[in-house]
A and B are shown apart, each in its own frame.
Chain A
């Protein structure tokens, strides 16, 4: 008798106890999901790697073979606070379609704006070997001058002055006078407030226009600068330009 009570109690309370706790957790915090998708374009036309030919504001033509950048520390603002995605590091890589979108859970409610860091925060640049999006395997880490390449474009142009008419912009630098990190803030207009509903997924589509890299405020011609692969003044100019790369294209509430 005692044994059967023991056995019964173990089974019963283990099952009832745990499902009970689980449900209680759900009721307390209503969660929904947001899906964020990046669409990389040149002047609104989706980038075609190795195929498309594009013209910059100075009439120079170019192609794109690689286009990738880090988006980190994503936060969504609601009335009276911010939701910050935990361990928020994403490598947006045009050549890996599955890397162009990601999702995370957050509390239900209305959100007014989206903020993120374009690049990888300085702490992660000095904290040794990282993994996942920050794995040096992603070819976004400088081995001779430690630090992440925050944004990278490679391609070709007839106007290039270097070997094989290459164009290579590897934009990085996280400290001192040559810090290219940019805080990006994108407001959802009143009509398209992001609404997160319980157990549903709402979607944000963000356009990243590579055409912004060439000018405003800094005019950069391929004929003058075919390559930028070190932290410094030129990288800072690129970063000032590409800080305006992003716009909210669409918000879909479900």
Chain B
């Protein structure tokens, strides 16, 4: 009898603790957590961006909805996706500068968004130090989305759908800037491009043509020091010897560090999907890969004191080699990413892409 009571007591404690714990939280059902997959043979991301922002299907879907929602901008016309178009590898297709609120232009070429989980800094000058705080810049910039954080949160809180989506992703319907930013990071951080022809060749599933193969060899000899495989960037800042645009007077990284040694240095961009991310360079001054290669061959201004040491003699190559390099770079296009419906706007909401209030669209 005594033993029975002791056993019951132990049970009581366990059960009561469980019931009290459960009743105090008042949380919704747990989100469906998902695993972020690192492609085979790739390095681990320098920091795990999902360590304190656990990736879930609900978080990803919420982030995607926010990414495509014009209400994150002042007049409803500029969702994140207006400058970051999936068919252009989430860069601004065919635009040197992107369009912003009230007929304005941005001052730099919009970078593509993929493989962000491996990036330690954001922006051409590296001014943003974490994927979660990145959206704050375009959201509040007067020549981009021109909104305030308060106003965006107010719109989301008043919406008929968002409170439920935040509850599904984060356990309660409370809409905070932190949750909004974490959801956006779950979406953008999940976009991975690792299935181009180049990747298939590396996995032994395809073969380069003769020209592509020659281009790859040249690439490894002349370009890979900065555009490091498999991400095709080393995430560093370098001066590639371009003339300063006198209208923009953009000195790049120096604006962030205040260090003259960083003058005219810009982030080394990835070359993955490079064929669809034209125009090129931080100000989109070159509309073709041919023009970019001509710059490296004959256009580098070697008198700039901060010029990258690898470019003091430019990069010499023949016309045939130039074409081979372009053939190789064309193998870096990953249509399984640019056409992946998982990253595309959900069709029911598409109708309202630029509408002021998409909450009335039937789903």
Q: Which A positions have Cβ atoms within 8 angstroms of B?
A: 5-6, 9-10, 13-14, 17-18, 125-131, 135-137, 141, 143-147, 176, 178, 230-233
Q: What is the total of A-B residue contacts with beta carbons within 8 Å? A: 90
Interface flags, B132-163, vs A, CB<8A=1, else 0: 11001101110000000110010000000000
Q: Are A141 and B178 in touch, CB under 8 angstroms?
A: no
CB contacts (< 8 Å) of A233 on chain B: these are: 258
Closest to B123 in A: A144
B268 to chain A, nearest CB (A): 20
CB contacts (< 8 Å) of B153 on chain A: these are: 137
Closest to B139 in A: A143
In the assembled complex, B130 has its CB within 8 A of some CB on chain A? yes
In the assembled complex, B313 has its CB within 8 A of some CB on chain A? no
Q: Are A9 and B130 in touch, CB under 8 angstroms?
A: no
Cα distance A137–B136 in the bound complex, in angstroms: 10
Q: Are A129 and B181 in touch, CB under 8 angstroms?
A: yes
CB contacts (< 8 Å) of A230 on chain B: these are: 258
Q: Knowing A9-B5, A136-B149, A146-B127, say if A128 contacts B133 (CB, 8 Å).
A: yes
CB contacts (< 8 Å) of B5 on chain A: these are: 5, 9
Q: Are A13 and B258 in touch, CB under 8 angstroms?
A: no
Residue of A17, A143, A146, A178 touching B13 (CB-CB under 8 A):
A17
Q: Are B130 and A128 in touch, CB under 8 angstroms?
A: yes
Q: Knowing A9-B12, A13-B9, say if A131 contacts B127 (CB, 8 Å).
A: no
Cα distance A17–B17 in the bound complex, in angstroms: 11
Cα distance A231–B257 in the bound complex, in angstroms: 8
Q: Are B133 and A136 in touch, CB under 8 angstroms?
A: yes
CB contacts (< 8 Å) of B255 on chain A: these are: 145
The interface centre, meaning the residue of B9, B52, B149, B258 with most chain A CB atoms within 10 A of its CB, is B258
CB contacts (< 8 Å) of B185 on chain A: these are: 128-129
Closest to A146 in B: B129
Q: Are A137 and B177 in touch, CB under 8 angstroms?
A: yes
CB contacts (< 8 Å) of B131 on chain A: these are: 128
Closest to B17 in A: A18
Cα distance A18–B5 in the bound complex, in angstroms: 17
Closest to A127 in B: B130
Q: Are A146 and B130 in touch, CB under 8 angstroms?
A: yes
Closest to B149 in A: A137
CB contacts (< 8 Å) of A147 on chain B: these are: 129
A178 to chain B, nearest CB (A): 7
Q: Are B13 and A13 in touch, CB under 8 angstroms?
A: yes
A134 to chain B, nearest CB (A): 9
A135 to chain B, nearest CB (A): 6
A22 to chain B, nearest CB (A): 12
Cα distance A223–B35 in the bound complex, in angstroms: 57
CB contacts (< 8 Å) of A135 on chain B: these are: 176-178
Interface flags, B185-212, vs A, CB<8A=1, else 0: 1000000000000000000000000000
Residue of B8, B53, B256 touching A10 (CB-CB under 8 A):
B8
B250 to chain A, nearest CB (A): 13
A3 to chain B, nearest CB (A): 12
In the assembled complex, B288 has its CB within 8 A of some CB on chain A? no
Q: Are A17 and B12 in touch, CB under 8 angstroms?
A: yes
Q: Are B127 and A129 in touch, CB under 8 angstroms?
A: no
